[in-house]
Amino acid sequence: MDHAQGFLALVNDAKKRIKEEDIPTVKKRLDSPEKPVLIDVREDSEWARGHVPGAIHLGRGVIERDIERAIPDKSTQLVLYCGGGFRSALAADNLQKMGYRNVISMDGGWRGWTEAGLPVIID
């Protein structure tokens, strides 16, 4: 996808402050006994077309508003994903600013997950 320069500048700035992990590393986390909370930050229409098993949906437009009710413990390990890893990076940066201390953005996002042939749920 061809993104606007201003958007890419915001993402690159956020990525300086957040932790990112590739898809194989996230998959290992999800398979471990101490599973993180997996959050899909894509739009409602994207979520409806398919998502990673076990994920909850808190879209990029509402995550900052709804996260404290959904996950009040700010030490909870959170893994965020979007289509490719840009929106999840922005959301991760904001959640850290809100006091969440264990936030990871999945680099590669939904596209990378599906390209790797990993399990998905399609409603």
| Two structure tokens written together for 92 | 């991760």
Catalytic residue among 41, 82, 92, 103: 82
108 is an active site residue: no
Q: Annotate 78-117 with DSSP letters as a single string.
A: EEEE-SSSHHHHHHHHHHHHTT--SEEEETTHHHHHHHTT
Q: Please say whether the dihedral angle defined by the alpha carbons of residues 41, 65, 123 and 73, taken in this order, is positive or negative.
A: positive
Q: Hey, which residues are catalytic here?
A: 82
